[in-house]
Structure 1
Amino acid sequence: MADEAYEGRKARVNTAEVRTASWKETFRAAWKRLRGGELTPARAAASVAVGLAIGVTPLYGAHFFLVVGVCMPLRLDVPVAYLAANISLPFIAPFLTFAEIEIGARVLDGAFLPLTSREAMLAHGTKRFLKEIAVGTLFFAPAMAALGGALTYAIASARRQRSAFDEVVDRVAERYARGRRFTRGYVTSKMTHDPVVRAVLDQANAGGFGDVADVGCGRGQLGIALLESKAASSVAGVDWDSAKIAEATKASEGLSATFAVGDLREAPREPCDTALLIDVLHYFTEDEQDAILARVAGLARSRIVIRDLDPDRGWRSQVTRLQESITTGLRINRGARLCIRPIAAAMRVLEAHGFHTEVTPCWQGTPFANVLLVATKAPSPRSR
């Protein structure tokens, strides 16, 4: 008898668990159906537009049913649309109604109503007010929908772009978590706060970098970010700091990347599509800089991207000189010397090798005088 009672209780528990699981699954399916799919910027904008168009109508009490009736067939996001429809909260609704009355009066009579007293409102008549509300709503609802939809699309698109960048930063930082804690913190901070990372990724995402030679790659985080964002097909990095190269090699496991210790005056050695020279040139003499640029120009098939200090940017240049002197003196940056010359010198060398050059500021949010020089080569007649 005890066994039968135990089996009976077990069966009841199993039945309850099945019912609970079935209810949860039904709820998840219903919620998924109400959401309609991934909330892309376009779907978010359309959902908000529908919600606002319905919310400003004077059909109070029916807004939810109207939102569901419109959004479900169109596979828009019902919760988002209904949230937008709540623009007609009790303390806002009178202002919406007043706006619709005035718009309706302007359309019907060519002038706004002078509602200055209770007597004037009573004299106007209820039927006339209802007609003006109806006509005003026909104009007001589409206008609110268009405005709200456009703002939502702009905000959602900006957030989506930031989110994509943040995901790349997270993936890169996670790769460096296998090493020293300091390195992960440094890489995360560098990628988040150094404007060159976004600038280079924007350049790469716009045109694709192909095979990349990263001359003076340091810990390799920029090249790894290019691979993680699918903006480069391979990366070959070289730096004279063996400790940093070891960290880059460990972090790039599983990616199409190689990092090697080498003399930057002799790199790269193989042709590439894109060459990166980020914060490198000012550690060499003028003759060495020209030789490096000439070598890179002879091997880069498409573009060369340089970030360096411009000495002609006023107080920013003085701040950057001081910072470079301190980091070099403390051996944080292992440059042999500082040789800072106008960015126009690098432009002349690259233009002499058939590149078109463009310089833009690359110091956003910092006190430094860094600029980004992007040199592009026109495709040869055979490659067109």
Structure 2
Amino acid sequence: MTKRFLRSLLDEASRPFNGNGHFAYHYSRGKLSSDSIFREILKRGLFPAEGRYLDLGCGQGSLFAWLLAARKLYEAGHWPKDWPAAPKPQHLHGIELMQKDVDRAARAFGADHPVVRIEQGDMTKADFGKADVVTILDALHYFDHAHQKDVLKRIRAALPPGGLFLTRVGDASAGLPYHLCNWVDHAVTFVRGHRLPRLYCRPLAEWVALLQSLGFSVETDPMNEGKPFANIMLVCRVPAAA
């Protein structure tokens, strides 16, 4: 059941990018099928049942396509019995620096989508507004430590009590797996047609200490699915009594 379901979910989530160019479709399909974090978000019920979701560094909107596809299958009754209900996004707001990715998202979702809005912007400068969930997947290390702290402070301010910040980082203290992560990061960035960035990473303990200092409770979970990397998912919550 689960394998058939995941195949159906992948087909549905890839559908918006079909006809949007060879790269957009195959990049999204490859990322959604190979990256375990998308599956774990649903399987663990990490997101609230309903809410406003903000994805910083959202690319062409693959996460949004995944969430919308999940809700569609759930409402149609095609859903694993041992999984929590699929979240029902009220608003999906994405901010992406690269205009090419924003253009791909616009072609995928259309300009008048009732839920999705993806705009070009720099997360170190953009207004986050208010959100119930904020995500940054594999992008915090693209800017320096001072900007990292400022972005995280503004994320904390955008979230209500009980709000969720979900991110994934590389553990700079992990030795060879960390360096493999960086190599893959550079390779993917190059394939997407962007310049190769300088990366500003931290040891896992330093990431956790920074987030806790800003008022988050933090859970850590390796997110590599057997690959020799040092990727760590950080589930960061604002205390309900905050």
Q: TM-score, normalised by structure 2?
A: 0.83
Residue in structure 2 matched with residue 215 of structure 1 by the alignment: 56
Mapped contact 1:209–1:274 kept (Cα < 8 A): no
What SS class does the counterpart of residue 19 from structure 2 fall into?
coil
Runs (5+) with no aligned partner, structure 1: 1-158
Distance 1:278 1:335, change over 3 A: farther
The separation in 1 between residues aligned to 2:42 and 2:195, in whole angstroms, is 26
2:109 to 245, 252, 272: 252
Residue in structure 1 matched with residue 138 of structure 2 by the alignment: 279
The separation in 1 between residues aligned to 2:49 and 2:208, in whole angstroms, is 22
Distance 1:364 1:354, change over 3 A: same
Residue in structure 2 matched with residue 312 of structure 1 by the alignment: 173
1:270 matched to 2:129? The reply is: yes
Q: Aligned pairs, how many? A: 222
The higher radius of gyration belongs to 1
Mapped contact 2:13–2:68 kept (Cα < 8 A): no
Residue in structure 2 matched with residue 298 of structure 1 by the alignment: 157
Highest relative contact order (Cα 8 Å, sep 6+), 1 or 2? 2
Worse overlay, 211-220 or 172-181? 172-181
Distance 1:191 1:299, change over 3 A: same
What SS class does the counterpart of residue 367 from structure 1 fall into?
coil
The separation in 1 between residues aligned to 2:188 and 2:68, in whole angstroms, is 29
* Correspondence 1:319-358 to 2 at 5 A: 319-328=180-189, 332-334=193-195, 336-358=197-219
* Structure 1 residue 291 displacement after superposition: 0.8
2:120 to 245, 261, 265: 261
Distance 1:218 1:339, change over 3 A: same
The separation in 2 between residues aligned to 1:378 and 1:163, in whole angstroms, is 37
Query: As a proportion of its length, which structure holds more helix?
Result: 1
User: Which amino acid counterpart does residue 202 of structure 1 have in structure 2?
Assistant: K
User: Which amino acid counterpart does residue 65 of structure 2 have in structure 1?
Assistant: I
* Structure 1 residue 223 displacement after superposition: 1.9
User: Which amino acid counterpart does residue 241 of structure 1 have in structure 2?
Assistant: M
Mapped contact 2:57–2:95 kept (Cα < 8 A): yes
User: Which amino acid counterpart does residue 94 of structure 2 have in structure 1?
Assistant: G
* Correspondence 1:41-190 to 2 at 5 A: 159=1, 161-190=2-31
Distance 1:164 1:240, change over 3 A: same
Residue in structure 2 matched with residue 360 of structure 1 by the alignment: 221
Residue in structure 1 matched with residue 238 of structure 2 by the alignment: 377
* Structure 1 residue 274 displacement after superposition: 0.3
Distance 1:332 1:311, change over 3 A: farther
User: Which amino acid counterpart does residue 347 of structure 1 have in structure 2?
Assistant: V
* Structure 1 residue 333 displacement after superposition: 4.8
Provide Cα deviations, 1:274-313, integer angstroms capped at 9, x if missing partner.
0001011110111111111111111022100001211122
* Structure 1 residue 332 displacement after superposition: 4.1
Distance 1:196 1:268, change over 3 A: farther
* Correspondence 1:19-38 to 2 at 5 A: none
The separation in 2 between residues aligned to 1:378 and 1:372, in whole angstroms, is 19
User: Which amino acid counterpart does residue 169 of structure 1 have in structure 2?
Assistant: L
The separation in 2 between residues aligned to 1:175 and 1:243, in whole angstroms, is 16
Provide Cα deviations, 1:16-35, integer angstroms capped at 9, x if missing partner.
xxxxxxxxxxxxxxxxxxxx
Q: Percent identity?
A: 24
1:226 matched to 2:67? The reply is: yes
User: Which amino acid counterpart does residue 236 of structure 1 have in structure 2?
Assistant: H
The separation in 2 between residues aligned to 1:186 and 1:278, in whole angstroms, is 16
What SS class does the counterpart of residue 258 from structure 1 fall into?
strand
Residue in structure 1 matched with residue 93 of structure 2 by the alignment: 236
Query: As a proportion of its length, which structure holds more strand?
Result: 2
Residue in structure 2 matched with residue 44 of structure 1 by the alignment: none
Distance 1:224 1:327, change over 3 A: closer
Runs of 4+ in structure 1 deviating by more than 6 angstroms, as ranges, are none
1:199 to 37, 40, 44: 40
Mapped contact 2:16–2:65 kept (Cα < 8 A): no
The separation in 2 between residues aligned to 1:280 and 1:222, in whole angstroms, is 14
